Amino acid sequence: MNYSIIAHNANYIPPVQKPNLTFFPQVGEQGIRDLLSRFYACLDKSAIRSIFPPEDAEGMEIAAQTSADFFIQICGGPAYFNQRHGMPRMRGRHMPFTITAEGRLHWLTCFEQALKPLESSVKDEDLQSFWNYINGFSIMMINTQG
Ligand code: HEM
C-alpha cells in the first residue's frame, strides 16, 4: 500500500475516481461501519477534534455512522446516504466547518490508521483505490486558507 498524500495546490483539483467496485464485497457493510468507527475514534483524539460538533465519543460514533452511510453508497452498496440524509453535496455540507490543508493531513492520517487492519483481508489494488479516492476527494473539502 502507498499511503502518500497528494499535495494541495489551490490552482489544481486532481481527477477523482470512486473506489473499485470489487472493494465493497471484500469488506462488507459491517466492515465499512467498523472502518468509520475506528476513523472517528482517531479523530476524537486528533488535532482537528475541535471542528467536529459532537460533544462526546458517543456523538462521534453517531457521526461515524452517517459517514459510513456515505461510504457504503460510494463503494457501490445500498444508497443509505441518499435515503437517510439527502443528496451528498459534500463540499456544501463541509462549508460550515473550517477545513484547512493541514486539517486535511490530520484527517487522512486517521484514515490511514483506520485502513491498516484491512490490509490482511482486502486486495492491495482495491484498498489502494479507496485510498486514492479519499486522497483526491479530500482536496475538494478544503475551504479555508492557512
Ligand atoms: C479534508 C478533510 C475533511 C475534514 C477535516 C472533514 C470534516 C468533517 C466534519 C467537521 C464533519 C461534520 C461532522 C458532524 O458533526 O457530523 C464532516 C461530515 C462528513 N464528512 Fe467530512 N471532512 C473531510 C473530508 C471528507 C471527505 C473527503 C469525505 C468523503 C469522501 C467526507 C465525508 C463526510 C460525510 C459523509 C459527513 C457527514 C455529513 C452529514 O452529516 O450529513 N469528509 N466532515
Atom of ligand 1 nearest to the CA of 103: 5
**What is the average pLDDT value for the chain, to the nearest integer?**
97
Residue 17 lies in a domain: no
* Atom 16 in ligand 1: residue holding the nearest Cα: 63
pLDDT for 73-112, tens place per residue?
A: 999 999 999 999 999 999 999 999 999 999 999 999 999 9
Q: At what angle do helices 23-44 and 101-115 cross, to 10 degrees?
A: 120
Domain with residue 68: its CATH number is 1.10.490.10
Whole-number pLDDT of residue 12: 87
Say whether pLDDT at 140 is over 90: yes
Report pLDDT for 19: 98
Question: Mean pLDDT across the stretch 46-60?
Answer: 97
Residue 37 lies in a domain: yes
Query: Residues lining ligand 1, judged by CB closer than 6 Å?
Result: 48, 51-54, 63, 66-67, 70, 85, 90, 93-94, 97, 99, 103-104, 107, 134, 137-138, 141
Cell numbers representing residue 134 in the block: 479519499
pTM, two decimals, is: 0.95
Quote the domain boundaries for residue 133: 26-141
Mutation probe of ligand 1 site: the residue of 6, 61, 67, 142 with most atoms within 8 A of C-beta: 67
Average the pLDDT over 1-29 and give the result.
95
Distance separating alpha carbons of residues 53 and 136, to the nearest angstrom? 24
DSSP letter for each residue of 102-122: HHHHHHHHHHHHHHGGGGGTS
